[in-house]
C-alpha cells in the first residue's frame, strides 16, 4: 500500500485543504480538514514532507507538525504562485504547494521559535503605536491650525501646542485635549514596549553581537536576531542584502544590461531601520564637519547624493550583519578595514 510522501497544505482560519502524493507522484489524498482535525490527521501518518505557504499562523503549525515528527517547510507565496494550474481554489492552491515544495531550486523560510515570534510581536506593536502617535500629532496640528495656532515641524513640537489650548474656543478645546491625553498615553505605551525590547536585547547574545556593528542599534539588532538568527539559507552576503531589498534591480534585454533602483523586496521594517542608521552616521559626520578623507564614505558623499549614499551604506551594513551571524563573532573594526 502506498504511503504519503509529500503533502501540500493550504492554510486558512477554520478549514484547511490538503493535497498528498506518494513517492511516484500519484495523488492519495485530496480533502478538506477542520482546524481541530488537522493535527490528529498527521499524527496517524508516517513521516512525510509537508509544504505550506509562509503566512499568518504558518510558523505555529510548522512547530506543531515538527513535534509529531514531520519535515515541514515554508515557502514564500510569490514562489508558489507559478505552480498554480488555473483558477483560484483551495484545491488548486494545495496542489501547487505540494508541487512547489519538491522543487530543488525552491527557497524556504525558516520556522521561527515562539521566542522569536514574541520579539516580532513586540516590534510590530511598537511600530504600530509609533504610526498612531504620528497620526494623533498630525490631527492635533491640523485642528489647532484652523484657529491660527501653529507649531514648527517635528513631533517634538506638537506637545508645545498644549500650552496654547486656551486660544481655542471652548467647544473645540475639549476634543483637542482628549487628543493630547491619547498622545501622552501612546508615548507611555511606546516607552513600555521599548523597555521590553531592551530587556530582550540584554538577554540575547546574538543581538549583543549585532549591536557592535556601527549604526546597528538595539531595535535593529533585536529584530534581526529574531528574524534571521541563522543565515544558512543564504549562499553569500549579497543574497542576504538582496533578501532585504537593498540590491538594484537588473533589467536585461537585447544584449543590454541596465541596473535600476533597489528592489525594496523583503522585510520593509529591517530595511528602514538600516537606512535610518546609515542616515544617522552620515548626519553625524556632517554635524562634526569632518574634512573629506580617503575612506569609502567620504568619497561616496563627494560623488553621490546623500540618500543614495545612505542606501549604499545600508547595503554594506547588511553584508556585515551576514558575516557576524554566519561566523558567530563580533564586529572588529581593524579586521573590517
Question: Is residue 14, in this structure, part of any structural domain at all?
Answer: yes
Q: For the whole model, what pTM was predicted?
A: 0.88
Domain boundary residue, one of 172, 203, 234? 203
Residue 109 counted as domain residue: no
In angstroms, the Cα distances linking 214 to 94, 262, 280 are 45, 22, 10
| Same-domain pairing of 326 and 227 | yes
Q: d(Cα 84, Cα 247) in Å, to the nearest integer? A: 29
* Rounded-to-integer distance, Cα 275 and Cα 308, Å: 10
Say if CB 211 and CB 221 are below 8 A apart: yes
Domain of 16, in residue numbers: 6-100
Is residue 267 assigned to a domain?
yes
CATH code, 29: 3.30.420.140
Q: Tell whether 158 and 59 lie within a shared domain.
A: no
In a domain, 213, yes or no: no
Domain membership flag for residue 285? yes
> Which residues lie below 8 Å from residue 41, measured CB to CB, with a gap of 6+?
18, 33
- Digit-by-digit pLDDT tens for the chain (337 residues) are 678 999 999 999 999 999 999 999 999 999 999 999 999 999 999 999 999 999 989 999 999 999 999 999 999 999 999 999 888 899 999 999 999 999 999 999 999 999 999 999 999 999 999 999 999 999 999 999 999 999 888 888 888 899 899 999 999 999 999 999 999 999 999 999 999 999 999 999 999 999 999 999 999 999 999 999 889 888 899 999 999 999 998 888 888 888 888 988 889 999 999 999 999 999 888 776 666 566 788 888 888 899 999 999 999 999 999 999 999 989 987 644 4
Matching residue, cell 525594496: 264
Asked if residue 21 is part of any domain, the answer here is yes
- Encode pLDDT of 181-204 as tens digits: 999 999 999 999 999 999 999 999
Residue 211 domain-assigned (yes or no): no
Are 252 and 313 in a shared domain? yes
Amino acid at each position: 500500500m502506498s504511503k504519503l510522501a509529500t503533502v501540500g497544505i493550504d492554510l486558512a482560519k477554520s478549514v484547511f485543504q490538503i493535497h498528498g502524493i506518494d513517492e511516484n507522484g500519484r495523488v492519495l489524498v485530496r480533502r478538506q480538514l477542520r482546524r481541530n482535525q488537522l493535527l490528529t490527521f498527521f499524527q496517524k501518518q508516517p513521516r512525510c514532507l509537508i509544504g505550506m505557504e509562509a503566512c499568518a499562523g504558518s510558523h505555529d503549525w510548522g512547530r506543531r507538525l515538527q513535534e509529531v515528527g514531520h519535515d515541514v517547510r515554508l515557502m514564500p507565496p510569490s514562489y508558489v504562485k507559478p505552480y498554480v494550474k488555473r483558477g483560484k481554489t483551495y484545491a488548486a492552491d494545495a496542489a501547487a504547494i505540494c508541487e512547489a515544495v519538491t522543487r530543488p531550486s525552491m527557497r524556504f523560510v525558516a520556522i521561527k521559535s515562539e521566542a522569536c515570534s514574541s520579539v516580532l510581536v513586540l516590534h510590530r506593536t511598537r511600530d504600530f503605536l509609533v504610526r498612531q502617535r504620528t497620526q494623533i500629532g498630525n490631527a492635533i496640528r491640523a485642528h489647532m491650525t484652523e484657529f491660527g495656532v501653529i507649531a514648527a515641524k517635528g513631533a517634538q513640537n506638537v506637545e508645545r501646542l498644549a500650552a496654547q489650548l486656551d486660544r481655542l474656543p471652548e467647544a473645540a478645546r475639549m476634543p483637542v485635549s482628549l487628543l493630547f491625553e491619547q498622545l501622552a498615553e501612546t508615548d507611555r505605551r511606546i516607552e513600555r514596549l521599548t523597555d521590553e525590547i531592551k530587556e530582550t536585547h540584554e538577554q540575547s547574545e546574538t543581538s549583543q553581537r549585532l549591536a557592535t556593528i556601527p549604526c546597528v542599534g538595539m531595535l535593529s539588532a533585536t529584530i534581526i536576531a529574531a528574524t534571521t538568527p541563522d543565515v544558512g539559507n543564504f549562499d553569500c552576503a549579497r543574497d542576504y542584502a538582496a533578501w532585504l531589498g537593498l540590491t538594484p534591480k537588473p533589467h536585461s534585454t537585447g544584449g543590454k544590461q541596465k541596473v535600476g533602483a533597489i528592489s525594496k523586496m523583503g522585510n520593509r521594517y529591517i530595511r528602514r531601520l538600516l537606512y535610518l542608521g546609515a542616515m544617522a552616521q552620515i548626519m553625524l559626520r556632517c554635524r562634526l564637519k569632518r574634512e573629506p578623507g580617503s575612506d569609502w564614505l567620504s568619497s561616496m558623499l563627494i560623488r553621490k547624493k546623500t540618500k543614495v549614499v545612505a542606501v549604499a551604506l545600508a547595503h554594506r551594513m547588511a553584508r556585515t550583519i551576514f558575516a557576524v551571524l554566519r561566523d558567530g563573532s563580533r564586529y572588529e573594526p581593524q579586521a573590517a578595514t
